[in-house]
Amino acid sequence: MPAAPQASPSASSQPSPSLLGNLRAELMRHPPFAQMQPAHVDRFIAAAEQVYYAPGETVMTPADGPPTHLTYIRQGYITGRHGDDDKTPGFEHEAGALFPVGAVMGARPVTANYRAHEDAFCLVVPAADVRALAADSAPFADFLAHRALKYLELSRRAVQATFSSQTLAEQSLETPLGQLELKTPLAVPPQTPLAEALALMHDRRIGSVLVADEAGAPLGILTRYDILGRVTLAQVPLSTPIAQVMTTPIRSLTVRDTAQDAALLMSRHGIRHVPVTQDGRLVGLVSERDLFAMQRLSLKHVSTAIRAARDVEAMAAAARDIRHLVRHLLGQGVAARQLTQLISHLNDLLTERLVEMLAQDEGVDMARACWLAFGSEGRSEQTIATDQDNGLVFVSDDPERDRPQWLKFARRVNEALDYCGYPLCKGNVMASNPLCCLTADEWSRRFANWMERGEPEDLLNASIYFDLRPLAGAAALATPLTELVERTASALPRFIKQLAGNALRNRPPLSWLGGIETREVDGRAMVDLKFSGTAIFVDVARLYALAHGVTHTGTRERFEALGPLLRAQPQESQAWIAAFEYLQMLRLQVQMAHGDVAPANPNMVELDALNDIDRRMLKESFRVGRRLQQKMELDYQR
């Protein structure tokens, strides 16, 4: 920065009380000023001078030496570029930004050439005043020391506030019954023998059975509390039609009635179950336990429901509970890493239960096979909108003889997962695909061929399948595959170089000036948070992990292990993790906002719909991704 910035004619005069109040209100719309005491914001303003930069005018360069001022942009854009070559990618600071934070606090020259991209009005504060203010204002000091991490924290707080209010609304007893995840009721015709109705209750482990006419209108109900007095003690023959012992008339509500209406109805009449109708037809059943559970949805509740499930319908209900639990946890401020691990954990439980249930049904022995998870599930990084990436490894002395039975079983599991809300993989990376239903030797040959050939399709396959994890069955069957990848990939520099070239085809969506590039979708400026965001970090972490023999599959764990191996400064590796997890959190936020009806691409976000903090953090995350790719280019593409 020039030693003495050119101030506007009135810059040196003391601001009037009205101007001071306006400036304070303006600054306190942005971090860190929004978190600071008003008196400390006033100190910042009092120490500031206002300067103007014309379009194209140089603001500061490395040749100027350590900057003497910290700059706050009131209006306009300041762009930075390393070197004078216009082809060198740049970055952009917009209104509300403070720069150059690192250079001012470290008393070192900047590393880029800064210029005004358009008319820019700024406040500049002497470095000495910045340090003095930081000594007195903890929020200001914390922001200067951990800018990216502070943006991440502020973004997470905003998400927490949003989903806390949504969670309270969801849990409210004012919620219409039609908006609740109602149980699919067991309903039988009035002529059904008691023996048949009781057997159904026992098999499904439920406490009641409804009686409905041919049009689906509820006629009565029989609960396990009725059975003792009306059937057992009365010694009613089990051949008796259920209509003779059911409770009638039945009290029901419609989908427009609220949960509070159901609670009052139960309380007034001493009942525990209320049928719910739409246009006179039975569509659901709400129980006393359901109303209580509205306030108690928890990890234990969901995992217990999964373990107790006896059919695919129950599993589908548990899958919906997973999505509701995530919304609740977003409202509690749980971080992206914990959320994606929790989602993956519950999805694991659900898949294991389906595999166990359908293996028994199909008569296959999972002691001789292992269900494998690939991709995001293999990394334990699943979000809400996730499709299937799985495979099967089985033991056989004659694979062609045994494969059809395993494929039939795998197809049932894939279809059941699809029914539960985990769509079939468009790329057919599923155990029901013969190429994904192999013995350990067949899998090993396939993996080895990909690494030896390195064709584009091989590299794509490696980016999916090499993030693998055993999920259900004989986990030891997956060990030869993980050991092969760990042992072979690091010994094949050509393969690592090819992986790097493949990963570099997907670049962060940043313009040469450093702004976020979007693509128009239905007239809106959109960004793909997965393809243009998290995928870049996943690819870089996988590449370096394979090259350095790091055995972790999770992106965060890979970055944590790679930091010292790559001799990265702690704040640098922390920035990798913070940027990746911010993108994961934003993906979750966008996906949850869509509810149960996901669009064609649930990872697309409208840039103009983001708040100021999220927009800044998104740009910073893309910049971190670009720096990681630049490092990868230097290491593997020279």
The CATH number covering residue 465 comes to 3.30.460.10
Tokens of 70: 């910290």
Phi-psi region of 125 (alpha: psi -120 to 50; beta: other; left: phi over 0): beta
For 584, the domain range is 502-636
Q: What are phi and psi of 283, to 5 degrees?
A: -125, -10
Q: How high is the pLDDT of residue 186?
A: 87
Q: How high is the pLDDT of residue 466?
A: 96
Q: What are phi and psi of 251, to 5 degrees?
A: -95, 120
Q: How high is the pLDDT of residue 89?
A: 62
CATH number, domain containing residue 213: 3.10.580.10
pLDDT digits (tens, 9 = 90+) for 328-352: 777 666 666 777 878 888 899 999 9
H helix runs in 85-234, sequence order? 101-106, 127-136, 138-145, 147-171, 194-204, 224-227
What is the spatial distance between Cα 92 and Cα 76, in angstroms, rounded to a whole number? 10
What is the spatial distance between Cα 501 and Cα 540, in angstroms, rounded to a whole number? 11
Q: In this structure, are 479 and 506 located in the same domain?
A: no
What is the spatial distance between Cα 164 and Cα 206, in angstroms, rounded to a whole number? 32
Peptide bond into 32 cis (omega under 30): yes
Q: Assess if residue 150 is contained within a domain.
A: no
Distances (CA, A) of 254 to 169, 179, 208, 275: 20, 11, 19, 8
pLDDT at 47 over 70: yes
Helix axes 456-465, 440-453, angle to 10 degrees: 130
Query: Which whole number is the average pLDDT over 179-197?
Result: 88
What is the residue type of 504?
Answer: L
In this prediction, residue 306 has a pLDDT band, given cuts at 50, 70 and 90, of confident
pLDDT at 545 over 90: yes
Tokens of 532: 């243009």
Q: In this structure, are 235 and 352 located in the same domain?
A: no
One-character DSSP codes across 281-307: EEEEEEEHHHHHHTT---HHHHHHHHH
Q: In this structure, are 511 and 575 located in the same domain?
A: yes
Q: In this structure, are 113 and 192 located in the same domain?
A: no
In this prediction, residue 106 has a pLDDT band, given cuts at 50, 70 and 90, of confident
Tell me the pLDDT of the chain averaged across its residues. 86
Most confident of 27-31, 87-91, 214-218, 286-290: 214-218
| Cross-strand pairs, 284 | 276
pLDDT digits (tens, 9 = 90+) for 200-252: 988 888 888 999 999 889 999 998 888 988 998 889 999 999 999 998 888 99
pLDDT digits (tens, 9 = 90+) for 370-418: 999 999 999 989 888 788 999 999 999 999 999 999 999 999 999 999 9
| Cross-strand pairs, 70 | 125
Q: Assess if residue 494 is contained within a domain.
A: no
In this prediction, residue 307 has a pLDDT band, given cuts at 50, 70 and 90, of confident
Q: How high is the pLDDT of residue 9?
A: 34
CA 469 to the chain's CA centroid: 19
Q: In this structure, are 468 and 344 located in the same domain?
A: yes
Q: In this structure, are 506 and 631 located in the same domain?
A: yes
Those residues with Cβ within 8 angstroms of residue 600's Cβ, 6 or more apart along the chain or in another chain = none
Number of other CB atoms surrounding residue 368 within 10 Å: 15
Q: Assess if residue 628 is contained within a domain.
A: yes
Q: In this structure, are 512 and 552 located in the same domain?
A: yes
Q: Assess if residue 518 is contained within a domain.
A: yes
To which residue do tokens 């659900």 refer? 350
What is the residue type of 293?
Answer: A
Q: In this structure, are 558 and 607 located in the same domain?
A: yes
pLDDT at 54 over 70: yes
Peptide bond into 100 cis (omega under 30): yes
Please say which residue of 120, 144, 168 terminates a domain: 144
Q: Assess if residue 240 is contained within a domain.
A: yes
Q: How high is the pLDDT of residue 165?
A: 44
CA-based torsion, 445, 449, 451, 457: positive or negative: negative
Q: How high is the pLDDT of residue 628?
A: 95
Residue 477 vs residue 157, higher pLDDT: 477
Most confident of 402-416, 518-532, 584-598, 624-638: 402-416
Q: How high is the pLDDT of residue 299?
A: 64
pTM listed for this prediction: 0.64
Q: In this structure, are 365 and 465 located in the same domain?
A: yes
Tokens of 111: 């590393």
CATH number, domain containing residue 592: 1.20.120
How many domains does the chain contain in total? 4
Are 140 and 32 a contacting pair, CB within 8 Å?
Answer: yes
Q: In this structure, are 517 and 455 located in the same domain?
A: no
pLDDT digits (tens, 9 = 90+) for 60-81: 999 999 999 999 999 998 988 8
For strands 49-53 and 78-81, give the pairing.
unpaired
Q: How high is the pLDDT of residue 3?
A: 39
What is the residue type of 215?
Answer: A
Q: How high is the pLDDT of residue 87?
A: 54
pLDDT at 4 over 50: no
What is the spatial distance between Cα 327 and Cα 165, in angstroms, rounded to a whole number? 11
pLDDT at 440 over 60: yes
Please say which residue of 237, 263, 293 terminates a domain: 293
Are 430 and 424 a contacting pair, CB within 8 Å?
Answer: yes
Please say which residue of 126, 144, 162 terminates a domain: 144
Q: In this structure, are 444 and 545 located in the same domain?
A: no
Q: Assess if residue 8 is contained within a domain.
A: no
Tokens of 329: 């946890």
Q: In this structure, are 467 and 517 located in the same domain?
A: no
CATH number, domain containing residue 21: 2.60.120.10
Q: Assess if residue 181 is contained within a domain.
A: yes
Q: Assess if residue 328 is contained within a domain.
A: no
Tokens of 8: 């506007």
pLDDT digits (tens, 9 = 90+) for 113-157: 999 988 999 999 999 999 999 999 988 988 887 665 555 555 555
Distances (CA, A) of 360 to 228, 365, 505: 34, 8, 45
Are 322 and 417 a contacting pair, CB within 8 Å?
Answer: no
In this prediction, residue 601 has a pLDDT band, given cuts at 50, 70 and 90, of confident
- Of 574, 587, 507, 578, the closest CA to residue 539 belongs to 507
